[in-house]
Amino acid sequence: MKQAVNAQVVSRNKLLGVAGVGWLFDALDVGILSFVIAALASDWGLTSEQMGWIGSVNSIGMAVGALVFGIFADRVGRKSVFVWTLIIFSVGSGISAFASSLAIFMALRFVIGMGLGGELPVASTLVSESVEAKERGRVVVLLESFWAVGWLLAAVISYFVIPHYGWRVALLLTALPALYAVYLRLRLPDSPQYEEKKEKRSVLQNLAAVWSKPYAKQTIMLWIVWFTVVFSYYGIFLWLPSVMVVKGFSLIKSFEYVLIMTLAQLPGYFTAAWLIEKWGRKWVLSVYLLGTAFSSLAFGLADSTWLLMVSGMLLSFFNLGAWGALYAYTPEQYPTVIRGTGVGMAASVGRLGGIFGPLLVGSLMAGGISIGWIFSIFCLAILIGILAVIVLGKETKQTIIN
């Protein structure tokens, strides 16, 4: 019996490590982009609207990728989709280092976004289906914690590489996951639940099932929450280094401060991972989103360096803890046969928010609207997401998902 338990632990940790490193590279790419946007503004003389469009095009690709690859995950399996999406965004990111114009760079960001958008929900679904109910939430949040490591790595690379060697070298470093995808292909097992329960169903059947009576309520809830969370996250974090510059800091100093703020993401994940099996998904998600709402408001209104740093660290802490809870919560809303489709559709709707968030910041800044007012909008959006979770959400802690 003890040997069987040890084997399960080893298998779980192996899956978490393999999927987590892929997740890390996702965060590395998104994190690098936020710093690259600030550098491109200097190198190419971009306007605020053009800077906003870079982040939004990335999110358009993520919306398409989440929907398409989520559907494919129910058709061909989680593992194959996980590997190919990883290859798409890795190779695309490497090629983007050689972009000679904004148009080419944005076209590549669309392709990269497709890979990113498809990989994230499929990876969380794969891990969720491969872990016992009693520890499923904690393990998925720990998977999401690799995002913080990727962001930290992005901040370190940006701080030490971009000022001295340029943004192209930084982007080349994000192409390394393409090599790791080969390892995934050989080593990663597919979801045991998918292998057991897979059946021949049409795409239309799965799309309709997500909106059938047993799942319509949670689908509405997930779409609202995903939209508001992604809208605020990409609106805030893709602009974070640039907002620091607007507040009067040099490019290098803004990179340094964002690196410090990013350190708070790890304890955010770890506390959420500890609480999620105690409080449950619904309340951890709500509490951490509430913390995100008020810390984003404080960040936007901050008028001193110390307040900016404290609110920025709290923003990182609560927002990324909320992300971990959301990724644990989402796959538990659907049965195995439509889980990839349901999670992919929710993530796709969320990415629509990621299109509008960066664009909103760029257009409002160009119109002379203060950072405080802009971040107040994100605070309000997150409060709407909290209301959806509380009113429409159900608790799924340690429930059996088939």
Instruction: Kindly report, residue by residue over 8-36, the tens digit of the pLDDT.
Output: 565 677 778 778 887 788 888 878 887 88
Residue 349 has pLDDT above 90, yes or no: yes
Overall size of the chain counted in residues: 402
Q: What is the mean pLDDT of residues 34-52?
A: 83
**Orientation angle between helical segments 48-76 and 203-210, nearest 10 degrees:** 110
| Residue whose pair of structure tokens reads 């996250």 in the numeric block | 233
pTM of the model: 0.81
The DSSP string of 54-121 is: HHHHHHHHHHHHHHHHHHHHHHH-HHHHHHHHHHHHHHHHHHHTT--SHHHHHHHHHHHHHHHHHHHH
pLDDT band at 196 (very low <50, low <70, confident <90, very high): low
Q: Which residue has the tokens 């292909």?
A: 185
Tokens (6 digits) for 291: 């913390």
pLDDT-based confidence at residue 185 (cuts at 50, 70, 90): low
| Pairwise CA distance, residues 70 & 29, whole Å | 20
- AA identity, residue 302: A
- For residue 5, what pLDDT band results from cuts at 50, 70 and 90? very low
Number of other residues whose CB lies within 10 A of the CB of residue 306: 8
Q: d(Cα 147, Cα 389) in Å, to the nearest integer?
A: 23
d(CA 275, CA 280) in angstroms, rounded, equals 7
3-state secondary structure 17-45: HHHHHHHHHHHHHHHHHHHHHHHHHHHHC
Residue 147 CA from chain centroid, whole number: 8
Q: In angstroms, rounded to a whole number, what is the distance separating the alpha carbons of residues 59 and 38?
A: 18
Nearest Cα to Cα of residue 170 among 112, 97, 109, 102 = 97
Q: What is the 8-class DSSP label of residue 333?
A: G
DSSP secondary structure of 194-210:
HHHH-----HHHHHHHH
Planar angle of CA 367, 373, 243, nearest 5 degrees: 75
pLDDT in tens, 92-131: 888 999 998 999 999 999 999 898 888 888 888 888 888 7
Question: Rounded CA gap, 74 and 194, in Å?
Answer: 8
pLDDT score, position 289 = 97
pLDDT at 147: 82
Pick from 31, 29, 205: nearest CA to 111? 29
Domain 11-184+199-392 fold is: Growth Hormone; Chain: A; (1.20.1250)
Please state, rounded to an integer, the average pLDDT across all residues of the chain: 84
Q: Domain residues of the chain, as ranges? A: 11-184+199-392
To the nearest whole percent, how much of the chain has pLDDT over 70?
Answer: 91
**Using CA atoms, how far apart are residues 280 and 224, in angstroms rounded to an integer?**
20
φ, ψ for residue 158, nearest 5 deg: -65, -40
Among the listed residues 19, 35, 28, the one whose alpha carbon sits nearest the alpha carbon of residue 123: 19
What number of other Cβ atoms are within 10 A of residue 179's Cβ? 10
The answer to whether 345 touches 210, Cβ cutoff 8 Å, is: yes
226-273 tens-digit pLDDT: 999 999 988 887 777 777 777 777 666 777 777 788 788 888 888 988
Choose between 134 and 220: higher pLDDT. Answer: 220
For CA atoms 369, 288, 144, 340, the dihedral sign is negative
Q: Are 334 and 215 in contact (CB under 8 A)?
A: yes
Q: What is the mean pLDDT of residues 137-151?
A: 83
Range 303-328 average pLDDT: 87
Return the number of other C-beta atoms located less than 10 Å from residue 132's C-beta: 11
Q: Residue 169 and residue 173: Cα distance in Å, rounded?
A: 7
* Residue 18 amino acid letter: V
**3-class secondary-structure state, position 346:** helix
